[in-house]
Amino acid sequence: MVREHIDAYLMELCRGVGALDINAIQAVVDEIMRAWRDGCTIFIVGNGGSAALASHMATDLSKITVPGQRRFRVQALTDNQSLMTAWGNDTAYENIFSEQLINACRLGDLLVAISCSGNSPNVVKAARVARDLGARVVAFTGNTACRLHELSDVSVLAPVSFIGMQEDIHVILNHMIASVLVKKLTAVARRASQPAKAFVLAAGEGSRLRPLTLNMPKPMLPIDGKPLLEHTVQWLRRYGIKDIAVNLHHCPDVIVNYFGSGEPLDVELAYSYEDTVLGTAGGVRKMRDFIGDSPLVIVYGDVLTDINLHDLLAFHRQVTTRDSAAAVTLSLYHVSNPTEVGLVDLDSDGRILRFVEKPKREEVFTDLANAGILVVEPWVIDMIPPGIVFDFGRDLFPMLLEKGVSMYGWVAPADTFIMDIGSHAAYDRAQQDWPAHLRVRQTVLQPAIFVDRDGVINCNRPDYVKSWAEFEFLPGAIEALRRLSQLGWPIIVVSNQSVVGRGVVEPQVVDDIHARMVAAIRQAGGRVDDVLYCPHAPQEHCDCRKPQPGLFHQAAERHNIDLSCSYMIGDAACDVEAACAAGCKPVVVRSGRWAEQAAELRAHLLHIQHVAADLLQGADWILDQVAALRAIQADRPVHIAVGIAAPRLHVNGAQVSYTRANHSMPARSSAQAVF
């Protein structure tokens, strides 16, 4: 009898679990990931067994830890018994959750409301209050219509009649969601650790630019003294992209003989020869093995631009995190010639509703056009038929929209330079406009990242670092610099090296250490644009030894830096004092002299912006701050549209110049919690 009952129960439970709405579960996962991505709090409520599940779910979400990724902010409103009984006693039982939400809930937060009946007064009121406060609502309910369905953005019904079994299904649902979230965060972490690759479309014959292109590929036409393709490669490298593929057809040897392997430009070039032009998408499909599992930046070879690639990639990561169907992000800009480009229609979330390639005049519906730079998920490449002519605008994009695959558009800031040089008039205009744009850009101050060396990038030694053999990178330091390089801001190492002034180490040895350090960072896909160090002994009382701000002022003059918007990452009081004197925002790491200088650092508590475990955590915090600021400036929670001028690198081929110094905020500091 018992056995039969158990078998029947398990069979019915399995049937109920199998009948769950997968699309609704996916929507719940997307809501939770959105809350995580936006730094919002997830509140969970329920009564009886559902109250126990609320605590259970909060525990499961809180324990999800993926290295390099922030954790979920979760609070079960069922756990504070003192507060619940106080509200219940002083007002009414139906207010025990809603009053807590009034205290803590913010715009964009998420409420998970669990109720088998879906009509529990305190849960229903919590959902109503959460919506009034601008939060999203997810509901786990039983199998009948209820008030909670009407108030929720997403509902998952347990499709069985017995309440106890509904609770079982809710527990299973919680575990399924938690397991999916672990995989999604792991994928986010893996993607963050893998530099994007790029593909430059250069196989076209450039027929509209003949006779200039009779014996030369269009991307090799010179602009401001060097080929268009060289501008493109240097732009990609500036944002940390080293692996670049180029497809070839017309006069391929001109490109290969000029660029070779790409080593002089500090990139690795791969070439794809097309006997017959395969179209924009078909050419990319031919190089599927090169693409691997990383997101791919695709650049049309006739586009000259200084688009902030960090912002474009950040937007793409955001939409792919919150929308599992997101596959492509197009960079967009406003044009005056809408019949000559691909036009895009967007909804309020930036999702592309339709794409029309080079419409007739009567078909024009917007001036928002494809800029010719897009980011594509690798699985989309597999949807392109191999070996045939296939185009992004005419074939792939309409097919993706028809299949329900999400495509998004990122609108470039108005001061971004974007020009298609596909005609003689455009090419002539580029010869004038590009140098003029560069001159203007060089007058615009840009933020920078300053980084101390010993104790931040490499291990401190009590006897100092006297050779490359004694230089040891701290764990995560190279990865931190790789991530920071994607901002497009100058990264400047500023260091006190009194070993030179005291005669312990020769200047050329320090230069060699720095050259090898930068080479190792570059090899891993990172970037350091300059190394400035003070060679003087403390008793020389120079103006460049930290805590004096001389190194910062030299860097600002050389790289056109706005110090007030820049960050300094250090491990000692002198780093904080120098940053403050220069007007930068100090971030302190605990990997170097933190312990021995705790008292001195505590004296600067109000000035320290953040305290991190190491350079990697400090870098991630800065990236979060920049993303949040740009989102605020763009007046949208996701869409980032703030232009930051790209740095001018002190690079000559593969050589980096280093200079020894010569003689001649507002938010509450998060460091307070650490001290």
**Residues with active-site annotation:** 452, 454
Q: Which residues, in sequence order, are CB contacts of 147 under 8 Å at separation 6+? A: 118, 119, 124
CB 144 within 8 Å of CB 170: no
Whole-number Å distance between alpha carbons of 339 and 366: 10
DSSP type of residue 637: S
Phi/psi at 338 (nearest 5 deg)? -65, -15
Instruction: Give the Cα-Cα-Cα angle 328, 329, 330 (nearest 5 degrees).
Output: 120
Please give the single-letter amino acid code of residue 645: A
The string of DSSP codes covering 374-389 is EEE-HHHHTTSPTTS-
For residue 647, the Cα-to-chain-centroid distance in whole angstroms is 19
Separation in Å, CA 641 to CA 414, 445, 560, 632 = 9, 18, 22, 10
Nearest Cα to 629, choosing from 617, 614, 644, 616? Answer: 644
Where are the extended beta strands (E) located within 335-386? 342-346, 352-357, 368-376
Q: Is 450 helix (H, G, I), strand (E, B) or coil?
A: strand
DSSP type of residue 657: -
Separation in Å, CA 30 to CA 66, 168, 326, 479 = 18, 23, 12, 28
Beta pairing class for 342-346 and 418-420:
unpaired
The string of DSSP codes covering 117-144 is SS--HHHHHHHHHHHHTT-EEEEEE-SS
Task: Write out the H or E segment, with its range, that includes residue 268.
Answer: strand 268-273
Q: Is 481 helix (H, G, I), strand (E, B) or coil?
A: helix
Is the peptide bond prior to 490 cis by the omega test (within 30 degrees of 0)?
A: no
357 bridge partner residues:
342
- Token reading at 661: 């110094």
CB 32 within 8 Å of CB 72: yes
Whole-number Å distance between alpha carbons of 197 and 199: 7
Whole-number Å distance between alpha carbons of 264 and 239: 17
Q: Which residues, in sequence order, are CB contacts of 166 under 8 Å at separation 6+? A: 116, 142, 143, 158, 160
**Helices marked H in 208-278 — which ranges?**
228-238, 252-259
